[in-house]
């Protein structure tokens, strides 16, 4: 909502300064978004006429225009607008002028070799409207003003307020003045209605169809005959321009003025273009009309339209149509002042993707009792400026406004806000805001002003009182440092632990978007459901991610392109399995590229490999409290991993849920994505699949047992078939005698000379120690034999002699 202090003063008596005003507006919840100075520089913008246009010698789309700016010589201006044509009256900005929209200063510039002295401006560049298609077109009436400043001198700055959606009453200058006055900033001026003679009858019949979903409750109108539509007088033009509106003609300007002044949208029809009468009804499917924005709208069933016998004239409360629009030669007008249901307005505007000043106001709720006031205010101005006879006012209604009453418990204020205000002050504030108060025994009976659709219960009154009293009066009550519940749950603690455990292993934490590129996602989706976003920000961010890999690989690739070669990154966050709330899993996903010890003078460089990732995963899990001796690992992994160089980890032999995957990313994916690195290794840890220990650390710590008897290390080499996994041997050995066998370590794997083709040799070092005695040679011999026997029997291995 754009206002000026000058306009406010039509409704507010005050000697205070603009600086105080800006503070006070924010203080009572009417936030000042920006303050623009229109006064100093806008005098430079001149009304001008294009005398001649020529095609630019070096650019097809540009024209070189000779422009009359009221000086002896014509100005040469280069212009790219399609509508720049000979004879057009428009607005010229000379070098030195500051373009309001971009805040840039114009300079004499060579454009493709032709010097341009200034610029011809579009409405959008002047902040007059959003119209940026072509330069401003002024009517012929401006011809006599060529060379004069387009903007009149204004002392007042343009103040842009951000009005919250609950306050439609402040979409009119008067409403803002009322709030200010209630808060002690000046006094509200109660303007008397101008007496206007209403003699003739309103002869144009208006009917609101009573049908389901009728979006119009009341339709007020009056006929004004024999008007002479003209250009608005200077005061009116200045007023509109001062808040960034473009004057059009007196009738349109007056309706806009009334809307901005008292938040009462009106619409003026050329009465002679209406066939017989007005019917307010629901639209039929497929009905069409051309709106005042010169677009043709095809309507769906059930939209509230103003129509006549011939068809749709306009969309009620949103936009009028060209067929019945007023022009300079309009003689008789019908002025409409209606009440439209906010929901209906919003539905229709949303479906048609239409936004207008009227729509913005009606969807928030217009004062239903302002129909007559608005008509009279506008009619008297029209009569004053354009002449004519005004008919009596006709109001058709299908629903009456019901007064809202709230019983207000005075003590409730302190209970919610924490400080007290006197009943006297409460009454004063509410009266100033337009409430009518009846004092009852224990409460105040409040009649809510008709312009406040946001107020319906006690809490709304409390808000008004504290807003006007001042939020600075709310006391600061210090919090008590007391905790009755632990801050994090066990799962949340595990989340934070894993996050920092992975980071401590050389991975940089990233946060990437929960959505991703469908083509990347498909590489990692497997049988997962594709979850599309209906209205994505771009097609590359069109689906929710089924895996974190898609984003990590994308960003890994970008970093490699930046010239970094050896990187480890990870993210902990959601992946999605469905489009219902809760169909998501928390995954820790890591990705490493490149080499270890690249260009090292001391260590041998090598490609990063899956055992690096495996170490990080196993180490992280065991740091988190899971015993890696119990892990079960196999090689069944999703298809996006290299089938032979990847594995999955279960926390124990029950193989209940996959705790993690690790391995090389499938070479096909690297090829498709065209990522340039020596090797790409990833892992995924599934937070929800990690069983939470029922034992606390405190309980676990009680067990501490070590043996001080001598331990022996024995080395074995087994020859086994190639498909036998090391894990199998280890598992067999550890089961031979768990009391004696404590540490099993694979220290060599060998294939080749002296070993049959389809076999390999696995060398294992085993620590043997008893908790009861020092083992003698005989004991050791016995356990050695048991180990060899068990391994040979269960895995088909042969001890290498």
Using rule CB under 8 A, residue 692 touches another protein: no
Interface residue with another protein, options 248, 279, 503, 633 (CB under 8 A): 503
Using rule CB under 8 A, residue 35 touches another protein: no
Interface residue with another protein, options 576, 631, 661, 718 (CB under 8 A): 576
d(CA 757, CA 561): 43
Closer CB to another protein, 230 or 559, in the complex: 559
Q: Which stretch binds another protein (CB under 8 A): 302-310, 576-584, 676-684, 746-754?
A: 576-584
Please name the residues in contact with 183: beta carbons below 8 A apart, sequence gap of 6 or more.
24, 27, 28, 468, 470
Interface residue with another protein, options 521, 550, 568, 620 (CB under 8 A): 568
Interface residue with another protein, options 190, 296, 527, 534 (CB under 8 A): 534
- The alpha carbon of residue 741 and the mean position of all alpha carbons in its chain are separated, in whole angstroms, by 62
d(CA 91, CA 83): 13
Using rule CB under 8 A, residue 61 touches another protein: no
Interface residue with another protein, options 39, 83, 514, 693 (CB under 8 A): 514
Question: At its nearest, how many Å lie between another protein and the CB of residue 444?
Answer: 18
d(CA 743, CA 765): 8
Closer CB to another protein, 308 or 341, in the complex: 341
Question: At its nearest, how many Å lie between another protein and the CB of residue 197?
Answer: 40
Pseudo-torsion of CA 102, 103, 105, 109, nearest 10°? -10
Using rule CB under 8 A, residue 623 touches another protein: no
Using rule CB under 8 A, residue 584 touches another protein: yes
Using rule CB under 8 A, residue 600 touches another protein: yes
Q: Which stretch binds another protein (CB under 8 A): 67-75, 147-155, 521-529, 600-608?
A: 600-608
The footprint of another protein on residues 404-433 (CB under 8 A) is 414-419
Using rule CB under 8 A, residue 531 touches another protein: yes
Closer CB to another protein, 277 or 536, in the complex: 536
Using rule CB under 8 A, residue 487 touches another protein: yes
Residue whose entry in the numeric block shows the structure tokens 């009596």: 392
Closer CB to another protein, 514 or 765, in the complex: 514
Tokens read off for 760: 């390999």
For residues 256 and 379, is the Cβ–Cβ distance under 8 A? Answer: no
Adjacent-strand bridge partners of 306:
280, 314
Question: At its nearest, how many Å lie between another protein and the CB of residue 459?
Answer: 5
d(CA 801, CA 784): 14
Binding mask 636-655 for another protein (x = CB under 8 A): --------------------
Interface residue with another protein, options 506, 686, 750, 767 (CB under 8 A): 506
Q: Which stretch binds another protein (CB under 8 A): 291-299, 327-335, 573-581, 679-687?
A: 573-581
Using rule CB under 8 A, residue 579 touches another protein: yes
Binding mask 354-393 for another protein (x = CB under 8 A): ---------xx-----------------------------
d(CA 799, CA 792): 7
* Element containing residue 680 per DSSP (H, E): strand 680-686
Closer CB to another protein, 566 or 684, in the complex: 566
In Å, what is the CA distance from 224 to each residue of 33, 326, 366, 625, 629?
40, 12, 24, 86, 94
Helix, strand, coil % in the chain, rounded to nearest 5: 30, 30, 45
Question: At its nearest, how many Å lie between another protein and the CB of residue 685?
Answer: 15
Using rule CB under 8 A, residue 558 touches another protein: yes
Closer CB to another protein, 282 or 307, in the complex: 282
- CA dihedral sign of residues 480, 481, 483, 484: negative
Q: Which stretch binds another protein (CB under 8 A): 43-51, 92-100, 328-336, 581-589?
A: 581-589
Using rule CB under 8 A, residue 195 touches another protein: no
Q: Which stretch binds another protein (CB under 8 A): 73-81, 112-120, 143-151, 529-537?
A: 529-537
d(CA 562, CA 181): 61
d(CA 684, CA 691): 16
Q: Which stretch binds another protein (CB under 8 A): 143-151, 332-340, 580-588, 635-643?
A: 580-588
Interface residue with another protein, options 82, 405, 488, 749 (CB under 8 A): 488
Q: Which stretch binds another protein (CB under 8 A): 23-31, 191-199, 320-328, 691-699?
A: 23-31
DSSP state of 450: T
Interface residue with another protein, options 574, 725, 726, 765 (CB under 8 A): 574
Closer CB to another protein, 225 or 493, in the complex: 493
Question: At its nearest, how many Å lie between another protein and the CB of residue 580?
Answer: 7
Q: Which stretch binds another protein (CB under 8 A): 163-171, 726-734, 743-751, 773-781?
A: 163-171
Closer CB to another protein, 96 or 165, in the complex: 165
* Strand 712-721 versus strand 405-408 pairing type: unpaired
For residues 573 and 490, is the Cβ–Cβ distance under 8 A? Answer: no
Question: At its nearest, how many Å lie between another protein and the CB of residue 576?
Answer: 7
Residue 70's region, left for phi above 0, alpha for psi from -120 to 50, else beta, is left
φ/ψ (deg, to 5) at 308: -130, -165
- The alpha carbon of residue 348 and the mean position of all alpha carbons in its chain are separated, in whole angstroms, by 22
Best CA proximity match to 219, nearest among 331, 123, 306: 306
d(CA 614, CA 681): 10
Interface residue with another protein, options 5, 7, 27, 640 (CB under 8 A): 27
Binding mask 317-346 for another protein (x = CB under 8 A): -------------------------xx--x
Using rule CB under 8 A, residue 164 touches another protein: yes
Q: Which stretch binds another protein (CB under 8 A): 50-58, 308-316, 559-567, 772-780?
A: 559-567
Interface residue with another protein, options 288, 583, 715, 789 (CB under 8 A): 583
The footprint of another protein on residues 445-474 (CB under 8 A) is 457, 459-460, 462-463, 466-467, 471-472, 474
Q: Which stretch binds another protein (CB under 8 A): 186-194, 257-265, 284-292, 510-518?
A: 510-518
Q: How many CB atoms lie within 10 A of CB 254?
A: 24
In Å, what is the CA distance from 178 to each residue of 462, 489, 511?
18, 51, 48
Residue 342's region, left for phi above 0, alpha for psi from -120 to 50, else beta, is alpha
How big is the site for another protein, counted in residues (CB under 8 A)?
98
Interface residue with another protein, options 241, 305, 379, 544 (CB under 8 A): 544
DSSP state of 404: P
Please name the residues in contact with 123: beta carbons below 8 A apart, sequence gap of 6 or more.
129, 130, 131, 132, 136, 246
Question: At its nearest, how many Å lie between another protein and the CB of residue 347?
Answer: 6
Tokens read off for 602: 């001391």
Taking the alpha carbons at both ends of the chain, their separation in whole angstroms is 93
Tokens read off for 588: 């820790």
Binding mask 165-194 for another protein (x = CB under 8 A): xxx---------------------------
Sheet of 205-208, strand order: 205-208, 277-282, 304-308, 311-315, 319-320
For residues 673 and 702, is the Cβ–Cβ distance under 8 A? Answer: no
Question: At its nearest, how many Å lie between another protein and the CB of residue 556?
Answer: 8
Best CA proximity match to 446, nearest among 412, 403, 401, 405: 405
Closer CB to another protein, 510 or 546, in the complex: 510
Using rule CB under 8 A, residue 697 touches another protein: no
Adjacent-strand bridge partners of 406:
446
């Amino acid at each position: 909502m754009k206002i000026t202090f000058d306009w406010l003063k039509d409704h507010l008596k005050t000697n205070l300064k603009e600086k105080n005003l800006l503070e006070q507006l924010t203080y009572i919840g009417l936030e000042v978004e920006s303050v623009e100075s229109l006064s100093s520089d806008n005098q430079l913008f001149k009304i001008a006429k294009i005398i001649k246009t020529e095609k630019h010698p070096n650019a097809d789309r540009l024209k070189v225009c000779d422009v009359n700016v009221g000086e002896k010589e014509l100005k040469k201006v280069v212009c790219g607008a399609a509508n720049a044509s000979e004879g057009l009256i428009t607005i010229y900005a000379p070098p030195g002028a500051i373009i309001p929209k971009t805040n840039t200063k114009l300079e004499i510039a060579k454009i493709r070799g032709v010097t341009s002295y200034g610029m011809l401006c579009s409405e959008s560049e002047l902040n007059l409207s959003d119209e940026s298609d072509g330069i401003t077109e002024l009517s012929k009436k401006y011809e006599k003003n060529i060379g004069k400043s387009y903007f009149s001198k204004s002392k007042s700055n343009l103040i842009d307020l951000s009005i919250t959606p609950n306050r439609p009453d402040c979409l009119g200058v008067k409403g803002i003045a009322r709030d200010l006055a209630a808060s002690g900033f000046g006094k509200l001026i109660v303007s008397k209605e101008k007496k206007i003679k209403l003699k003739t009858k309103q002869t144009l019949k208006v009917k609101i169809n009573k049908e389901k979903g009728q979006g119009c409750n009341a339709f007020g109108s009056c006929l004004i005959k024999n008007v002479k539509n003209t250009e608005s007088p200077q005061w009116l033009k200045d007023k509109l321009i001062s808040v960034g509106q473009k004057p059009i003609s007196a009738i349109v300007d007056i309706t806009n003025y009334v809307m901005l002044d008292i938040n009462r949208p009106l619409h003026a029809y050329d009465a002679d273009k209406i066939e017989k009468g007005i019917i307010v009804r629901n639209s039929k499917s497929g009905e069409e009309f051309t709106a005042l924005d010169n677009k043709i709208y095809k309507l769906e069933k059930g939209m509230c339209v103003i129509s006549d016998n011939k068809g749709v004239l306009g969309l009620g409360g949103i936009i009028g149509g060209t067929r019945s629009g007023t022009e300079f030669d309009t003689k008789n007008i019908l002025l409409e002042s209606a009440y439209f249901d906010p929901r209906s307005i919003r539905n229709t505007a949303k479906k048609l993707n239409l936004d207008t000043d009227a729509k913005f106001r009606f969807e928030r709720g217009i004062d239903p009792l302002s129909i007559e006031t608005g008509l009279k205010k506008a009619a008297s101005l029209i009569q004053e400026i354009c002449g004519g006879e005004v008919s009596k006012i006709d109001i058709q209604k299908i629903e009456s406004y019901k007064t809202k009453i709230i019983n207000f418990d005075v003590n409730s204020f302190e209970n919610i806000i924490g400080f007290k205000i006197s009943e006297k002050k409460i009454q004063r504030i509410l009266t100033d805001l337009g409430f009518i108060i009846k004092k009852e025994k224990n409460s105040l009976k409040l009649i809510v002003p008709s312009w406040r659709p946001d107020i319906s219960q006690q809490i709304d009154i409390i808000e008004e009182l504290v807003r006007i009293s001042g939020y600075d009066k709310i006391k600061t009550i210090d919090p008590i440092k007391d905790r009755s519940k632990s801050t994090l749950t066990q799962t949340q603690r595990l989340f934070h632990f894993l996050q920092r455990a992975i980071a401590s292993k050389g991975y940089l934490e990233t946060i990437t978007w929960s959505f991703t590129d469908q083509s990347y996602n498909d590489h990692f989706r497997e049988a997962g459901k594709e979850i599309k976003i209906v209205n994505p920000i771009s097609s590359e961010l069109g689906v929710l991610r089924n895996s974190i890999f898609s984003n990590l690989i994308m960003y890994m690739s970008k970093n490699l392109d930046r010239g970094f070669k050896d990187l480890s990154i990870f993210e902990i966050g959601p992946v999605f399995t469905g489009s219902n709330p809760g169909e998501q899993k928390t995954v820790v996903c890591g990705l490493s590229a490149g080499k270890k010890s690249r260009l090292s003078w001391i260590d041998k460089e090598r490609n990063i490999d899956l055992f690096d990732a495996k170490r990080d995963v196993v180490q992280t899990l065991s740091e988190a409290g899971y015993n890696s001796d119990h892990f079960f690992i196999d090689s069944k992994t999703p298809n996006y991993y290299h089938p032979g160089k990847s594995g999955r980890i279960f926390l124990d032999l029950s193989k209940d849920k996959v705790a993690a995957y690790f391995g090389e990313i499938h070479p096909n994916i690297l090829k498709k994505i065209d990522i340039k690195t020596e090797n790409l290794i990833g892992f995924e840890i599934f937070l929800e699949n990690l069983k939470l220990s029922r034992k606390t650390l405190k309980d676990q710590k009680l067990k501490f047992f070590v043996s001080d008897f001598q331990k022996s290390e024995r080395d074995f080499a087994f020859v086994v078939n190639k498909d036998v996994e090391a894990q199998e041997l280890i598992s067999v050995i550890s089961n031979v005698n768990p009391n004696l066998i404590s540490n099993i370590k694979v220290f060599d794997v060998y294939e080749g000379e002296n070993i049959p083709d389809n076999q390999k040799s696995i060398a294992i070092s085993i620590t043997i120690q008893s908790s009861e005695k020092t083992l003698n040679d005989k004991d050791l011999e016995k356990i050695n034999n048991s180990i060899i026997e068990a391994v040979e029997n269960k895995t088909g291995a042969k001890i290498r002699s």
